Structure 1
Amino acid sequence: MRTELVSESGDPDRANEDFASVVLPASGRGGALVVLDGVTPPRDGAGCVHSVHWFTARLGGALTELTVSLPDVPLAEVLARAIARTAEAHAGTCDLSHPRTPQATVVLARWSAGAVEHLVLSDSALLVESPDGTVTPCLDDRLDRLPASALATHAHVDTYLRNKEGGFFTAAADPAVAERAVTGALPRGEVRTLAALTDGATRWVERFRQGDWRDCLGYVREKGAGALVERVRALERTHPGRGKRHDDATVVYVEL
């Protein structure tokens, strides 16, 4: 089995708000990956005394444990339990009802001798490669389906779209959001490779059009996860666009 993990802050003067882990149980017959992309709040605060990277470390740590310690529990339930555990850790000090309470996008994958399960919530991506080389992106595209005009202001997004019906969902303080995640499972023999990417890394495909998802996974296999992030950074410098010029970028690559 080959695994590779790269995570780089979009700003060297700011903490990386992504989280990533790969877990290989001692049995040698299974494992899991966890990737979170913390949502940076606006400057006027989020009702919480904790940082986004505090939140992603807590939620990511809980998910890392629970995905392997509860192998028979569906991933959506694992996410719900991890959110509840994380919320309990700061419910006494913070306003968890604030629309910008710390939150994150989520990618989970767990494999055993018989199956590969996955879960995606919001705009990070999981690429699944079959033995014949077909690459299937597992995506939650609700945010992409919203018109740009609806995302013009933080106030409109937070009031009408963030964790709302007709909008998009992220892992924050409400365990029920786990029911909104995109989930699925495949027989183990139908999966050769997995790659999870936060949206700082998916820019290679989605913003800069360097290739499709199959090309992206092939680039990581051939050149490495770090090379993909380096290429994105080079493109950001020469082709600045809307939004953040540089974003935290994480890539986890696993050959089963």
Structure 2
Amino acid sequence: MRTELVSEPGDPARPNEDFAGVGLPASGQGGALVVLDGVTPPRGETGCLHSVHWFTARLGGALTELTVSLPDVPLSEALARAISRTADAHRETCDLSHPRTPQATVVLARWSARSVEYLILSDSTLLAESPDGTVTPYLDDRLSRLPRASLATDAVIDAHVRNKEGGFFTAAADPSVAARAVTGVLPRAEVRTLTALTDGATRWVEKFREGDWADCFTFVRKEGARALVDRVRELELADARERTYLRRGKTHDDATVVHVEL
């Protein structure tokens, strides 16, 4: 097995709110990857004393442990347990019911000799390559399918679509959200390589239209994860003035790529 991991903050002066990890059990059989993208809140109250990167570090650490140490527990249950553990770490000091309590998108994958399990919550992405070279994207596209009007302001998002039925879901303080994730199990023989990306890296496909998901996977395999992030940064800088592609989005976002050849 070969792994490559790159995670870079959008602004070097600010902490990276992404988390990435690969866990390998002591037996040497199987493994798991964890990728989180912390949700940067707008200015104002969040009800929490802690930062987003504190939250993603806690949640990511718990997920890395649980996905490896409890191989028979489904990924959705591992996520629910990790959310509960993280919530317990600041329940006494923070208002975890606040809609802007620290939260994150999630990609999990776990492989054994028999199967590859996956879980996606919100707008990060998992790509799986089969032995014949076919690349399949696994996505939670609920956020992208929402009408623009429902995302008009932060207040509208908080009141009507964030972690609401008919909206989109992120990992925050409610463990029941784990049941809302996109999940599945693939035969191990049908998966040769996995690539997980936060939306700062998927800008290559989704904002700048450099290629489709198969092209993105091929770029990472041939040029490397670092090269993909570097190319995204070049595209961001080139569009910073005209904002043809970036529009009202932030110029740079935290970007993470984890590439695993099983």
Shorter-chain-normalised TM-score: which range?
over 0.9
Q: Which runs of 5+ in 2 are unaligned?
A: none
- 1:23 corresponds in structure 2 to 23
Q: How does 1:158-197 map to 2 (within 5 A)?
A: 158-197=158-197
**Structure 1: gaps of 5 or more residues:** none
Alpha carbons 2:34, 2:108 under 8 Å: kept:
yes
Measured against aligned partners, the alpha-carbon deviations of 1:91-147 in whole angstroms (never above 9, x if no partner) come to 000000000000000000000011000000000000011001111100000000011
Q: Is the 2:120–2:183 contact (alpha carbons within 8 Å) kept by the matching residues of 1?
A: yes
Q: Is the 8 A contact 2:150 2:160 kept in 1?
A: no
Instruction: Kindly state the Cα deviation for residue 149 of structure 1 after the two structures are TM-superposed.
Output: 2.1
SS at the partner of 1:199? coil
CA distance in 1, matches of 2:37, 2:45: 18
The reply to whether residue 136 of structure 1 matches residue 147 of structure 2 is no
The aligned runs of 1:82-161 (5 Å cut-off) are 82-161=82-161
Structure 2 Cα separation of the partners of residues 231 and 78 of structure 1: 34
Q: Determine the C-alpha separation between the residues in 2 that align with 1:131 and 1:29.
A: 20
Once the two structures are TM-superposed, the CA of residue 192 in structure 1 deviates from its matched residue by 0.3
- Would you identify which runs of 4 or more consecutive aligned residues in structure 1 move more than 4 Å? none
Q: Counterpart of 1:81?
A: 81
Q: Does 1:250 align with 2:256?
A: yes
1:247 partner amino acid: D
Aligned with 2:6: secondary structure? strand
| Length, aligned pairs only | 256
The normalised TM-score by structure 1 is 0.99
Within the alignment, does 1:48 sit opposite 2:48 as a pair? yes
Q: In 2, distance between residues paired with 1:183 and 1:33? A: 14
Within 2, Cα distance between the matches of 1:81 and 1:236? 37
Q: TM-score, normalising length from structure 2? A: 0.97
Local SS of the residue matching 1:90:
coil
| 1:216 counterpart = 2:216 | yes
Larger displacement relative to structure 2 (167-176 or 233-242): 233-242
Give the RMSD, CA atoms, in angstroms: 0.6
